[in-house]
Amino acid sequence: MVKESPALFDCSYEVLSFDTDYQGRAHLSALMNYLQDAARQHSIRDHFSVFELFDKGLTWVVSRYHLKIDRYPELGEKIQVKTWASGKFGYYALRDFEIYDTSQKQLAVATSSWMIIELNSRRPVKVENLFPDSLILPARILDDDFAVLPIVERLDYKTSFRVCFEDLDFNRHVNNVVYSRWAVEGMPQEVLFSSRVYELEVNYRSEAFFGDEIEIISQCPSSPEDFWVQQVFNLSTGKELARLRSLWKYNEPDGRH
């Protein structure tokens, strides 16, 4: 657990029915939504939100995520999310997270990398001089230098989607959380009903917009301890939108009481 600091921000959530799966546990995308909302609230507190950047012709976009989950919270459970800006260098700003239950037992941790881009040119700008060092708590919850994720070398499974209106965020492109949902929906049925994700890495490489047709290709692990590897492509342009690597483990017993 990271020590208390003025740079640390925390907020609480209740796991609601629309956040949960058939076992009454939070969806992976729900966990990522909690992280995203905590980051949003923190940026508003420190006067560096996407809304304030918009006034300057800029916006936040996420580049990388790395999430490790110890336990999925259940329907009705209350959780606490802690987050902080953990570093800045060049074009990248780092943000880390912890999720706890009411007994202060750790449920999940995550680290992420963000960029600020110009709205018109979509080009990144350097973040080092955009916000003060006093907003940084230099503590990484996961020691990750965000090396390049692997590509799919053997096609074992593929599926396609079309970007829906509700997939879009304030920047009018696909929200980062949607990619985690696509990654789950892109898995074979037998995996979905026997396992769940306990580690996820995402490398966001390009934007997707309303109406785009998306294809996800997947490579299954060679052993239960290995990772699934996935790539997301825009079928109309051929652009690679994201790379993902995920570790799936067999489900715990049904969480319903």
- The pLDDT tens digits for 170-224 are 889 999 999 999 999 999 999 999 999 999 999 999 999 999 999 999 999 999 8
Q: Are residues 14 and 127 in the same domain?
A: yes
| For range 139-161, the mean pLDDT | 96
Q: Are residues 32 and 142 in the same domain?
A: yes
Q: Are residues 119 and 7 in the same domain?
A: yes
Q: Which domain holds residue 39?
A: 1-147
Reply yes or no on whether the pLDDT at 1 is more than 70.
yes
> CATH code at 21?
3.10.129.10
Least confident piece of the model among 144-153, 184-193, 247-256: 247-256
Q: Give the pTM.
A: 0.93
Q: Are residues 119 and 170 in the same domain?
A: no
Reply yes or no on whether the pLDDT at 133 is more than 90.
no
pLDDT band at 132 (very low <50, low <70, confident <90, very high): confident
What single string gives the DSSP state of each residue in 199-220?
Answer: EEEEEE-S---TT-EEEEEEE-
Domain boundary among 147, 167, 192: 147
**pLDDT for res 253:** 63
What single string gives the DSSP state of each residue in 118-166?
Answer: ETTT--EE--TTTS-GGGB----SS----PPPPPPSS--EEEEEE--GG
Q: Are residues 219 and 236 in the same domain?
A: yes
**pLDDT for res 128:** 80
Q: Give the side-chain half-sphere CA count within 13 A for 252.
A: 12
Cβ atoms 80, 100 nearer than 8 A: yes
**pLDDT for res 257:** 37
Q: What is Dmax (Cα atoms) for the chain?
A: 53
- Higher pLDDT, residue 74 or 47: 74
Domain boundary among 92, 115, 147: 147
Report the alpha-carbon distance of residue 216 to residue 214 in Å, rounded.
Answer: 7
Q: What is the DSSP letter of 255?
A: -
Number of domains in the chain: 2
Cβ atoms 36, 176 nearer than 8 A: yes
Q: In 3D, which of 132, 174, 154, 170 has the Cα closest to residue 29? A: 174
218: Cβ–Cβ under 8 A, 6 or more apart, which residues?
A: 152, 155, 156, 157, 158, 186, 187, 228, 229, 230
Report pLDDT digits (tens) over 236-246.
999 999 999 99
Report the alpha-carbon distance of residue 142 to residue 66 in Å, rounded.
Answer: 8
- Higher pLDDT, residue 103 or 251: 103
Q: Are residues 95 and 210 in the same domain?
A: no
Domain boundary among 118, 147, 176: 147
